[in-house]
Amino acid sequence: MSERPTRTETDSLGSMEIPSDAYWGIHTARAFENFDISKRPISVYPHLIVALASVKQAAARANAELGSLNPEKAELIDRACQRVIDGEFHDEFCVGVIQGGAGTSTNMNANEVITNIALEMAGREKGDYAFISPYDHTNRSQSTNDVYPTAIKIALARSLTDLLDELELLRQSFAAKGQEFRHVLKVGRTQLQDAVPMTLGQEFHGFATTLGEDHGRLSETIWLLAEINLGATAIGTGITADPRYASVVVRHLNEITGLKLETAPDLVESTSDAGAFMSFSSALKRSAIKLSKICNDLRLLSSGPQAGFGEINLPAKQAGSSIMPGKVNPVIPEVMNQIAFSVVGADTTVTMAAEGGQLQLNAFEPVIAHSLLQSILWMARGCHTLRVNSVDGITANEDRLETMVGTSVGVVTALTPFIGYTAAAALAKTALLTNRNIADLVVEADLMTREEVTKQLSPARLSGLEAITTAIPVIDGDAEHTPVGREATES
């Protein structure tokens, strides 16, 4: 077999042979040797690749408008960027997500790929950098230090939209279950001990509400991503760029992306500070933790099916054991838990990377980008599988719930305004010892009539959906146990 044809490329460190058909070049090749770590190329985050091409396209247009770049070359670079934005050549963005150099390998991978696409469209050979150069033309008026963080923010904004869409669909799914289970009574729990009754619908509606709140909080973080340092070049002074470049390039970038980006008021500060990424990460962590808590509840409520809570049934998705026949595990909530654990770890990583920046640049933005983009991607996919493979198919064990409510001492709390605390406590003790129905015990003790008990223990009143509207009489706890509270029950 003949060897793969190559071309020779040279940089300040020497020469290397590059595959002739590769759109990347020598800087990308050196990154292969130096950062063979994650085994994950930056192309696993398509939004990042599109963001990089968008920045390069905006730069080409701004440089052409300002007369800093030959119009023919600018047009070729612009068209090459558009092809990347449209989804072509993403597999050529192949440097590892974890890399040293503050993202220089990623920026140069983009410069080389876009340059060689432009050269090919011009009828030139790949690597003909005398005609269009990755450095002098595609990277004109730019530095990794302003291109890379700007691209990260654009990619995060796009990825966040995907997550918000999935989070809203999941909220709707929980809300639908809240409506479906609105009349199903159950025993509420505090500190894992029986409390007072509620409906299963209220429980699921609560899940929907907390997800709605998180949707709002995450939506608010978009402003953290709006301030960019494009035009700062190396450290924020704008060296090598036209003084007008920063304002012109952000205008073009907004037209390309449809976002509302704005130039930071202090480019030196903006180039060195990673606080926005840290705040954004914290919002992701909050959402992940709340999702994990909900999944903990789903696993508890579905535990059993015989020796656990057994209140709801999660859809059976796969066999749960290689040794115990018939066992089915809550695998979908479990995977959401693990995603949350990863997001928490990623948040710590982002925090330490933000702290580790020194002087005029944070060299650790690659791990910040990877941590945040992975967290968003996994959370969006986790929300999708939780909705489609679990929540939408949840059913209630109504017979079991009815039995649990009927024998729960928590029910007697609803009767204390009518029979008094002392009598209620005695009945609760009897119910615990005999496992008998609370309503039956109240009627047998001639404390209330069957009609009165039934009314007060209706799902609407037990769950608080229907309030007692008349005054509740004062009960003398030392009085003889006689039918009391009749007046209040007439409402």
**Judgement on whether residues 346 and 208 belong to the same structural domain of the protein:** yes
Q: What's the burial of 317, exposed, middle or buried (CB within 10 Å: 0-12/13-18/19+)?
A: middle
CB under 8 Å, gap of 24 or more: what pairs does 478-486 form?
478/422, 479/420, 481/419, 481/423, 481/445, 481/446, 481/447, 482/446, 482/447, 483/446, 483/447, 483/448, 483/449, 484/418, 484/419, 484/420, 484/447, 485/417, 485/418, 485/419, 485/448, 485/452, 486/448, 486/452
Query: Model pTM?
Result: 0.88
- Asked whether the beta carbons of 397 and 351 are under 8 A apart, the reply is no
Q: Which domain holds residue 437?
A: 408-463
* Active-site residue (options: 321, 322, 371, 390): 321
Nearest CA-CA partner of 311 in 408, 455, 446: 408
Residue 487, pLDDT score:
41
Supply the DSSP symbol for 465. S
Instruction: Establish if 472 belongs to a structural domain.
Output: no
Taking 70 as the pLDDT cut, the residues of the chain under it are 1-2, 459-460, 465-491
208 plus 105 within the same structural domain: no
Tokens 């309503």, residue located: 439
Gap between the Cα atoms of 203 and 186, Å rounded:
10
The pLDDT of residue 465 is 66
Answer yes or no: are the C-beta atoms of 408 and 317 closer than 8 Å.
no
Element (H, E) at 272: helix 267-272
Distances 187 to 321, 417, 424, 436 between C-alpha atoms, Å: 31, 19, 17, 16
* Residues 92 and 153 reside in one and the same domain: no
Residue 321 known to be catalytic: yes
Phi, psi torsion values for 2, nearest 5 degrees: -75, 150
CA 25 distance to own-chain centroid? 35
Does residue 160 share a domain with residue 25? no
In this prediction, residue 179 carries a pLDDT of 96
What confidence score (pLDDT) does residue 416 get?
87
Same domain, 109 and 227: no
Domain annotation covers residue 107: yes
Asked if residue 150 and residue 133 are part of one domain, the reply reads no
Same domain (yes/no): 435, 365: no
Query: What pLDDT is recorded for position 482?
Result: 43
Report pLDDT digits (tens) over 391-419. 999 999 999 998 888 777 777 888 888 89
Give the list of residues 6+ apart from residue 429 with CB closer than 8 angstroms, or none: none
Query: How many residues does the structure list for the chain?
Result: 491
Q: What is the per-residue pLDDT for 411?
A: 78
CATH of the domain at 300: 1.20.200.10
Strands 193-199 vs 227-228: parallel, antiparallel or unpaired: unpaired
Would you give the distance in Å from CA 337 to the centre of its chain? 12
- Domain annotation covers residue 403: no
Q: Tell me: the pLDDT tens digits for 96-123?
A: 999 998 999 999 999 999 999 999 999 9
Phi-psi region of 408 (alpha: psi -120 to 50; beta: other; left: phi over 0): beta
**Residue 478 belongs to some domain of the structure:** no
Residue 268 CB neighbour total at 10 angstroms? 15
- What is the per-residue pLDDT across 302-344, written as a single tens digit (0 to 9) for each? 998 888 899 999 998 887 777 887 788 889 999 999 999 999 9
- The total number of structural domains in the chain stands at 3
